[in-house]
Structure 1
Amino acid sequence: MDAPFVYRSFSTGGTSEAVLLKAALDGDLDRIKGVTPFMTSAQSGDISTVKYLFDHGGDLMKADAKGRTVLHHAVCTGSCTVTEFLLSKGIPVDIDYGYGTPLYHASINEQDKTVKILLNHHANVPSCILSYFAGADVNGKGSIASPLVFATGHGGYTNFIGLLLKAGADPNIPDDLGNLPIELAAARDCREEVEMLFPLTSPIPNVRNWSIDGIISHAKLEKEKPMDEEHVKVRKAMLKSHADKAFRRKEYAMASKIYTEVIDHAGPDVTLYSNRSLCRLKMGDGEGALSDAYQCRMMQPDWAKACYRQATAHMLLKEYKQACDALLDAQKLDPGNEEIERELR
């Protein structure tokens, strides 16, 4: 079979097709960092090119600089045929390099068809959204917030909201502050979610204009009102609990997102910056991890953990002298700490 694409020789002279093919498969054609023609072909839905590259050594497990594999690229654009083909070749349906699974990316890009394909291949749904798939209660009985409250409050889960409603989730269960899922969606100005929730939501007494536009207008006005101090504390504790649980499940992208929401909601907090720094480190985001570590050190200069967070971020960035300096600072603040001593050896 002839290649379904044509390579041009570099200006420095002729280059064999075999060398160019290897460069393409390795993502080394000076395009987007780490993005290979295998990935771009999957993204465009070009099944013949995808098959050709796979047959010539295309790596199903290779990720680009943002942690996206060829499967991620296919599902994000709704390339159903390519998605089915890749899954048939053995790529793990839940492959995740710290930036989210293919199901997560398909969902936030609102690709219903590839979401269904992934679910049919038994993709794991984020447990804080659709834990009922594993037999838990669809309304999250006994949990801090219902799956609908979490999904509408955080955004990026429009497709999951539809699935929750079909499974019988109750949209009239409020959050800890008494806000219904439809109000949370409206506060984010997500009309699509409001339209899904509206027919199943009981009228809210203080919303005078009970319509989709009326709910969105009401929610925006309510959002501008300052929250009292006690409510801020309750919300901070609830969101931090969600983030901590996501981290323990190794859902680092989600945990980082929620820690950011807590910081935006409740203000600067050294522990939250430290936790988000660790999430970003796990995701391979050295610059983000370092930024949060610097924030920790500014807020609490005598905290050894802040120095340690800075050191690990420098190590990820291969800035070894700066990492050593930060570890020495940590050692001065916490002499005898085994973890710090081990890193300094």
Structure 2
Amino acid sequence: MLDAAFEGNLNLFKRFAYELDAEGDLAEKIASGKDFNGRNALHVAALGGRTHVLKYLVGELKLDVNVKDDEGDTPLNCAIERNHFPTAVYLIDNGANLNAINNEGATALHLAAMEGPKKLLQLLISKGAEVNANPAAGTPLQRAAAAGKKDCVKVLLENNANPNTSSDDNFCPLVLAIFNGSIECVKLLLKAGADPNMYVERVGFRPLGIAALEWNAEIVKCLLNAGADPNVPNHLGFVPVEVAASEGNRDGVMTLYPITSPISDYPDWSVDGIMIYVHSKEKREKARQLNQHHFTESKLKGTEAVKKMDYHDAIKWYTKAINYDDMDATVYSNRSFCWARLEDGENALEDAKMCVMLSPSWPKSYYRLGVAWMLLKEFEKAADAFYDGWKLDRKNKELECAFRDAIDAQRKHG
């Protein structure tokens, strides 16, 4: 039946439906028939762009137009994913929720910003789609900028999309466009008010520093013309000209050198002098010390936040610490603890796994792993983790008790 819906063979689909109708509750039976992704006939018809099949399902059988599959996607999302404009129009006109959020935090507009033609974005916005929807997961503008979709970026900006949106987990649109190398998107964003000097905490750079790292001469010149400051250092103390030099990019150094203020540390402030000194032992050691300072400071602030039981803030600081040093097991352990306190088993598990990988002889790594598995109600795996930790420290009563609790939970829940 689902194959018939996808292929648009309405007669064959109705033949299957007639057989189900003999059993009663036709609409319910059709709605409950799903594939391995949890998609029913509405989803697969939308994926195939079979509007006539949807008219039968929605118009005659009155199936729920906003039903979600296992990924949280609605039929409208499916139509947009495959760029079926007429199908999307039909679903919108028949009650599709434009602002429904899937499991990844995306709405129909997010998907259209990456996949669809600009007329689809214009339609969604005109019908009430939220232009700045769900910034924590990345707004539609961030998605469009990351994909280098200049037409979509233009439409979103014309409809008041925020060009400076960012979060702990997502770069601002300007930086995403720089990573993509899209000069057209960069120009559109700067014209709309994107800040060329916004500090990107996730990497410790500003847009010009990132452009110097990626090196796109047009983008660098565009940022400078928009007021980007060539004298602001990144988290390692490198200004953009030094970033270019550290990448061995002589053309970049030659471009940025004339507009960069001399740095007193350099014995020879020239293009050649910068290219040499930036790779010196002295310069590398200064960068290492500064990075270590930021790491220690971020970790300390995370610990202070934990003491105040502000676990969201602690996660933010521990994440920053990981950006400075992603090989420190204790920070992953601490962040896993915070995720667990927020009852986020999936993230607690990911950090606990990293902790075990980085420090396989540390009993606490396995304790964190066991706690995460307990949250996910994987009691056998939790017991294994606690036992592995206890084997490393037989005097650890916390691990021993946790192991027994996991065994009891396993017996109780079968």
Does the pair score TM above 0.5? yes
Shift of 1:168: 1.5
Alignment of 1:115-194 (within 5 A): 115-119=153-157, 120-123=159-162, 125-126=165-166, 139=197, 147-148=206-207, 151-152=210-211, 165=224, 167-181=226-240, 184=243
- Partner SS state of residue 14, structure 1: helix
> CA 1:249–1:273 in structure 2 vs 1: closer, same or farther (change >3 Å)?
closer
> CA 1:152–1:302 in structure 2 vs 1: closer, same or farther (change >3 Å)?
same
Shift of 1:92: 3.3
Q: Structure 1, residues 68-125: CA drift from partner, whole Å, max 9, x if none?
A: 3322211124632222332333333343386433333222222233334444424351
- Partner SS state of residue 124, structure 2: helix
Counterpart-to-counterpart distance in 2, 1:271 and 1:65: 27
Match of 1:231 among 284, 287, 295: 287
CA contact under 8 A between 2:42 and 2:75: conserved in structure 1? no
Counterpart-to-counterpart distance in 2, 1:249 and 1:166: 41
Q: Structure 1, residues 320-342: CA drift from partner, whole Å, max 9, x if none?
A: 4545787898994399xxxx9xx
Larger Rg: 2
- Partner SS state of residue 232, structure 2: coil
Counterpart-to-counterpart distance in 2, 1:313 and 1:166: 52
Match for residue 275 of structure 1?
335
Match for residue 149 of structure 2?
111
> CA 1:268–1:289 in structure 2 vs 1: closer, same or farther (change >3 Å)?
closer
Counterpart-to-counterpart distance in 2, 1:253 and 1:68: 23
Match for residue 76 of structure 1?
114
Match for residue 134 of structure 2?
96
Counterpart-to-counterpart distance in 2, 1:292 and 1:87: 41
Counterpart-to-counterpart distance in 2, 1:254 and 1:160: 30
CA contact under 8 A between 2:231 and 2:240: conserved in structure 1? yes
Structure possessing the higher relative contact order (Cα contacts under 8 Å, 6 or more residues apart): 1
Shift of 1:226: 10
Counterpart-to-counterpart distance in 2, 1:140 and 1:276: 30
Match for residue 14 of structure 1?
16
Shift of 1:319: 1.9
Q: Structure 1, residues 226-275: CA drift from partner, whole Å, max 9, x if none?
A: 97455324224436878989x999799998986654335xx334214543
CA contact under 8 A between 2:79 and 2:87: conserved in structure 1? yes
Counterpart-to-counterpart distance in 1, 2:315 and 2:86: 33
- What TM-score, normalized by structure 1, do the two folds share? 0.58
Counterpart-to-counterpart distance in 1, 2:143 and 2:74: 19
Task: Say whether 1:333 aligns with 2:398.
Answer: yes
Q: Which moved more, 1:293-302 or 1:78-87?
A: 293-302
Match for residue 319 of structure 1?
378
Task: Say whether 1:301 aligns with 2:363.
Answer: yes
Letter in 1 for 2:353: S
CA contact under 8 A between 2:72 and 2:102: conserved in structure 1? yes
- Partner SS state of residue 170, structure 1: coil
> CA 1:150–1:182 in structure 2 vs 1: closer, same or farther (change >3 Å)?
closer
- What TM-score, normalized by structure 2, do the two folds share? 0.50
Counterpart-to-counterpart distance in 1, 2:375 and 2:165: 33
- Partner SS state of residue 298, structure 1: coil
> CA 1:320–1:163 in structure 2 vs 1: closer, same or farther (change >3 Å)?
farther
Letter in 2 for 1:262: Y
Counterpart-to-counterpart distance in 2, 1:98 and 1:166: 30
Letter in 2 for 1:52: Y
Count of aligned pairs between the two proteins = 309
Counterpart-to-counterpart distance in 2, 1:311 and 1:47: 47
CA contact under 8 A between 2:240 and 2:256: conserved in structure 1? no
Counterpart-to-counterpart distance in 2, 1:41 and 1:252: 40
Letter in 2 for 1:89: K
Gaps of 5+ in 2: 1-5, 18-25, 32-40, 47-65, 174-189, 263-268, 391-395, 410-414
Letter in 1 for 2:335: N
Task: Say whether 1:49 aligns with 2:87.
Answer: yes
Gaps of 5+ in 1: 210-214
**Alignment identity in percent?**
23
Letter in 2 for 1:86: L
